[in-house]
Copies of this chain bind each other. A is one copy, B any other.
């Protein structure tokens, strides 16, 4: 029998999605599952965006430009300007979601065997994209006892090899909810200039900062040739299914390469770009409302978590995730057990085991990522179920007095 490739064998299953067959089975048994495993918010997509689909007047659903529809790129440029980010429409390439933007950025600056340094825990799919592109993700561990701040520069420098080509930061961070400060970005900038690297910044949670200000990679000086921004409409407009993102850079050589990657796959979805363009007119109140809602959810989750013995986690400053340590033998077993063997009043909760967000073996094995993507009542109920489950779970750890 013909064999699949090594890279296919080594391709990790998404820790966010690999328990899906168990959740599907639970639902078939009639158990209600609270999905806190995935960043799929229940916040309504802006009406203007949903109406754009309803009101289209296309007769032929055509290809668009490989770099994205020019009107949309113009709109994106205005959106960025309103956030103090100066990028022209020519410096923006629309991608099929943030996922493709990250893959294109990786392929543009790294060959097979090259390395990208990123703080761990990190967005788990960086691992998947790295496996696909043959790139090595080199983690530098950010620790909960240091608030998940950027690790000291010496720790980052210690990981630089001749194969290091880039540093990648997700800001605000998924999965920690940490918001990197300007001084931390300046530290990355210094290292990047020192070692002739690219700086890739994943800012898909830009709008979701509870405390303080968001600093973009484009707020830094002297980075024109090195800064690559990756972005997405998924979280911003609660439109994960639209699969529209973008990549922005002032480096013309990178732009040109990414456009060629884009040409091979022809174009991002046309109708979705029209909808994303309409979404740019979403009023400020929408974001104010969403941010207040996410804050309330975060507070509701932590109100319960803080009471639970042996449970610890840092209240995030941004995005809508938290990494939470649980008093269990294995978070992966626990998450599977929640779906296969447990329910409370016919309900259970789905969480993402945190180990998949780390590259260093052994880290995160007793932790989960919780996504605050359901309303306050639902997350409160989900945390109540989690509390009951932690008591019932056969693999729970004995707690010291």
Interface residues of A (CB under 8 A from B): 1-2, 4-9, 11-14, 16-18, 20, 38, 40-45, 49-50, 53-56, 58-66, 96-97, 99-100, 103, 107-112, 114, 125, 128-129, 131-132, 134, 165, 196-198, 225-226, 237-243, 253-254, 257, 260-261, 263-272, 275
User: Does B108 lie within 8 Å of A134, measured CB to CB?
Assistant: no
Count the copies.
2
User: Does B108 lie within 8 Å of A4, measured CB to CB?
Assistant: yes
Q: Quote the shortest CB–CB distance from A84 to chain B (angstroms).
A: 24
Q: A107 and B132 in contact (CB under 8 A), knowing A45-B58, A267-B243?
A: yes
User: Does A100 lie within 8 Å of B17, measured CB to CB?
Assistant: no
User: Does B65 lie within 8 Å of A5, measured CB to CB?
Assistant: no
User: Does B266 lie within 8 Å of A97, measured CB to CB?
Assistant: yes
User: Does A112 lie within 8 Å of B109, measured CB to CB?
Assistant: no
Q: Please, which residues of chain B bring their CB within 8 A of the CB of A43?
A: 60
User: Does B14 lie within 8 Å of A66, measured CB to CB?
Assistant: yes
> What separation, in Å, do the CA atoms of A203 and B108 have in the docked complex?
30
Q: A7 and B111 in contact (CB under 8 A), knowing A45-B58, A50-B59, A240-B62?
A: yes
A5 nearest CB neighbor, chain B only: B111
> What separation, in Å, do the CA atoms of A239 and B8 have in the docked complex?
31
User: Does B260 lie within 8 Å of A63, measured CB to CB?
Assistant: no
> What separation, in Å, do the CA atoms of A198 and B265 have in the docked complex?
23
Q: A50 and B61 in contact (CB under 8 A), knowing A5-B111, A261-B11?
A: yes
User: Does A5 lie within 8 Å of B132, measured CB to CB?
Assistant: no
Q: Please, which residues of chain B bring their CB within 8 A of the CB of A266?
A: 17, 97, 99, 125, 240, 243
A6 partner, pick from B49, B111, B197, beta carbons under 8 A: B111
User: Does B112 lie within 8 Å of A263, measured CB to CB?
Assistant: no
A263 partner, pick from B1, B14, B265, beta carbons under 8 A: B14
Q: Quote the shortest CB–CB distance from A68 to chain B (angstroms).
A: 12
Q: A2 and B165 in contact (CB under 8 A), knowing A18-B263, A260-B128, A271-B272?
A: yes
